[in-house]
C-alpha cells in the first residue's frame, strides 16, 4: 500500500513541473528562491488565478507571478494598519454613543440598546427575523464572554473575580469585526443614527436608518479577515458579504467616483478613503494613502508586463477613479 503514497517534489522538480505542465518559464537560483519563499500551493498556484480556478490569468513567466505576489503584499502593508485603526475607532465611537450618561454593563446594553427588533410589528415576518438575529447575537456575545473566561482572559476574569458587571468595552476587546457589524445592525435606529452623525455621514434622505453603516463594516470585515490571516487580497476573492446595489450607488453619490462594484481592490480604497475623511483625517494623510496605492499599482504595471493582467485586476478606469478620489478628498 505504501507504494501508492505520493512523494513530495523538490523545488527543482516543482520548477520543471511548472515549465512542462503549466507552460510558465521559471529558471535560475533567483526564481528558485522566490518560489521557495512564496510557497507552491498557497503562493504560486494562487497567483495563477483571479478570484477562482476558472479565471486563469494569462501568465507566461514566473516573474509575473512574483509581480502579483509583491503587489498583494504591498496592498496588505497599506491596508492593514488602516483597517485595524478603523475597527478600534468605530468601537470607541459606539461605546461613546451608547454609554454616555447611561449604564455601561453588557447586560444593560443587550436588553436596552439592541432594540432593532422592536421597530417591527410583533408577529410580522420582519419581527420574527429580527428576533432570531437578536437572539443569535446575544448568544454570540455570551459565547465571547464564556470563551474569554475559560481562556483566562485577564479583563474578563478581573470583572468576574471582583463580582463586577462586565462593561461593553471589555466585550468589544474580544469581539470580532463581523460580530461588531451584527451589533451595529441590531441597535435601535436612533442609536445607529447617532453613530452615523458622529461620523458626519447621517443622511436623512438616502439612508434615514443609517443601515449602510453595518453594511460597510461587513465589507471591511471581509478585508480585515484576509489581512489578519495573511490571505490574498489582490483580486477581492475574499468577499463573502452580499453587496446590495444601494451600497454601491450611495458611495458613488457621496464620493463622485463612478462604477464602484468591488470587483477590484481600488473600490475598497474608495470606501476606506470615505471613512478616513469622515473620521476627520487630514487631507495630507488621506492623499498619502491614495499616492501609496497608486505607486503600488504602477509597480504592478511595470513588473507584470502584461496590460491584460493589470486591467483584469484593477479595471480600465483605475486612473480615472484615482483622479476622482483625489478630487473628493
User: For 202-247, how does the pLDDT look when each residue is reduced to its tens digit (9 = 90+)?
Assistant: 999 999 999 999 999 999 999 999 999 999 999 999 999 889 999 9
How many Å apart are CA 199 and CA 195, to the nearest integer? 7
Nearest-CA neighbor of 137 among 173, 109, 104, 102? 109
In a domain, 16, yes or no: no
Q: How confident is the model at residue 2 (pLDDT cuts 50, 70, 90)?
A: very low
Average pLDDT over residues 72-96: 97
Q: Are 262 and 239 in contact (CB under 8 A)?
A: yes
Residue 202 sits in which domain range? Answer: 59-328
In a domain, 32, yes or no: no
Average pLDDT over residues 133-152: 95
List residues bridging with 61 in a β-sheet: 25
Burial tier of 72 (Cβ tally within 10 Å: 0-12, 13-18, 19+): buried
In a domain, 135, yes or no: yes
Average pLDDT over residues 120-133: 92
Q: Is the pLDDT of residue 279 over 70?
A: yes
In a domain, 31, yes or no: no
The number of folded domains in the chain is: 1
Extended strands (E) in the chain? none
What digits encode the pLDDT tens for the residues 151-199? 999 999 999 888 889 999 999 999 999 999 999 999 999 999 999 999 9
**Predicted model pTM:** 0.91
List residues bridging with 167 in a β-sheet: 105
How many Å apart are CA 291 and CA 96, to the nearest integer? 33
In a domain, 50, yes or no: no
Q: 11-21 and 28-38 are packed helices; what angle lies between their axes, rounded to 10 degrees?
A: 100
In a domain, 34, yes or no: no
In a domain, 21, yes or no: no
Neighbouring residues of 317: CB distance < 8 A, sequence distance ≥ 6: 258, 259
List residues bridging with 203 in a β-sheet: 207
In a domain, 99, yes or no: yes
**More confident: 26 or 273:** 273
For residue 244, give the 3-state DSSP assignment: coil
Amino acid at each position: 500500500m505504501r507504494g501508492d503514497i505520493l512523494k513530495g517534489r523538490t523545488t527543482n522538480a516543482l520548477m520543471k513541473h511548472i515549465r512542462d505542465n503549466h507552460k510558465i518559464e521559471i529558471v535560475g537560483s533567483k526564481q528558485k528562491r522566490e518560489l521557495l519563499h512564496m510557497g507552491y500551493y498557497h503562493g504560486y498556484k494562487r497567483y495563477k488565478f483571479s478570484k477562482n480556478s476558472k479565471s486563469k490569468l494569462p501568465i507566461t513567466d514566473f516573474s509575473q507571478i512574483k509581480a502579483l505576489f509583491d503587489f498583494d503584499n504591498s496592498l496588505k502593508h497599506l491596508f492593514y494598519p488602516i483597517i485595524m485603526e478603523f475597527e478600534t475607532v468605530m468601537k470607541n465611537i459606539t461605546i461613546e454613543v451608547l454609554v454616555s450618561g447611561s449604564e455601561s454593563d453588557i447586560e444593560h446594553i443587550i436588553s436596552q440598546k439592541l432594540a432593532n427588533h422592536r421597530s417591527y410589528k410583533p408577529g410580522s415576518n420582519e419581527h420574527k427575523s429580527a428576533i432570531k438575529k437578536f437572539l443569535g447575537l446575544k448568544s454570540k456575545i455570551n459565547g465571547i464572554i464564556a470563551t474569554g473566561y475559560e481562556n483566562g482572559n485577564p479583563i474578563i476574569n478581573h470583572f468576574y473575580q471582583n463580582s463586577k458587571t462586565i462593561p461593553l468595552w471589555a466585550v468589544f476587546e474580544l469581539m470580532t469585526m463581523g460580530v461588531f457589524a451584527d451589533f451595529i445592525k441590531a441597535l435601535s435606529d436612533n442609536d445607529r443614527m447617532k453613530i452615523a452623525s458622529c461620523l458626519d455621514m447621517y443622511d436623512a434622505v438616502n439612508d434615514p436608518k443609517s443601515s449602510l453603516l453595518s453594511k460597510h463594516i461587513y465589507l471591511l470585515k471581509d478585508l480585515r479577515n484576509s489581512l489578519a490571516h495573511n490571505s490574498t487580497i489582490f483580486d477581492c476573492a475574499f468577499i463573502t458579504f452580499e453587496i446590495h446595489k444601494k451600497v454601491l450607488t450611495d458611495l458613488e453619490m457621496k464620493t463622485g467616483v463612478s462604477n464602484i462594484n468591488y470587483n477590484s481592490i481600488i473600490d475598497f480604497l474608495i470606501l476606506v478613503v470615505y471613512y478616513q475623511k469622515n473620521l476627520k483625517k487630514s487631507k495630507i494623510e488621506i492623499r498619502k494613502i491614495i499616492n501609496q496605492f497608486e505607486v503600488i499599482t504602477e509597480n504592478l504595471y511595470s513588473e507584470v508586463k502584461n496590460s491584460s493582467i493589470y486591467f483584469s485586476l484593477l479595471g480600465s478606469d483605475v486612473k480615472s477613479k484615482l483622479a476622482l478620489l483625489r478630487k473628493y478628498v
